[in-house]
Amino acid sequence: NAGVTQTPKFQVLKTGQSMTLQCAQDMNHNSMYWYRQDPGMGLRLIYYSASEGTTDKGEVPNGYNVSRLNKREFSLRLESAAPSQTSVYFCASSRDGSYEQYFGPGTRLTVT
């Protein structure tokens, strides 16, 4: 099992460009999450999806959109990137009734 995978690993964007971060899990989990982590900080929840076909806003959703394409995949889109979105983005998933989230390796995004 690969667990949670994320692509790309690194990305540099210019202000105003758009891109989609991809996430997939092979653990048959219902819940998936997108977090961002700024330097020296903890993780902050951007969006989550409790099941296929549902998504909800987290703590810092502005400037982002998400798509739960199917049970395996949960993508995060930046429509018009801003320097304030420079961060490391982590995708995670969890099983119903479990207290454990499984995290991907992260995508390091720089917006210039």
Partner 1 sequence: LAKTTQPISMDSYEGQEVNITCSHNNIATNDYITWYQQFPSQGPRFIIQGYKTKVTNEVASLFIPADRKSSTLSLPRVSLSDTAVYYCLVGRNSGGYQKVTFGTGTKLQVIP
- Cα(80)–Cα(85) distance, integer angstroms: 10
Establish if 39 lies at the interface with partner 1 (CB under 8 A): no
Contact region with partner 1 (CB under 8 A), list: 13-21, 41-49, 60-68, 72-80: 41-49
Site for partner 1 in 79-108 (CB under 8 A): 90, 92, 94, 96-106
Site for partner 1 in 54-83 (CB under 8 A): 59
- CB-nearer residue toward partner 1: 106 or 111: 106
Contact region with partner 1 (CB under 8 A), list: 18-26, 49-57, 64-72, 78-86: 49-57
Long-range contacts of the stretch 95-103 (C-beta < 8 A, 24+): 95/27, 95/28, 95/29, 95/30, 95/31, 96/30, 96/31, 101/33, 102/3, 102/4, 102/25, 102/27, 102/29, 103/4
Distance of CA 27 to the CA centre of its chain: 17
Q: By the criterion CB under 8 A, which residues form the site for partner 1?
A: 4, 30-31, 33, 35, 40-45, 48-51, 59, 90, 92, 94, 96-106
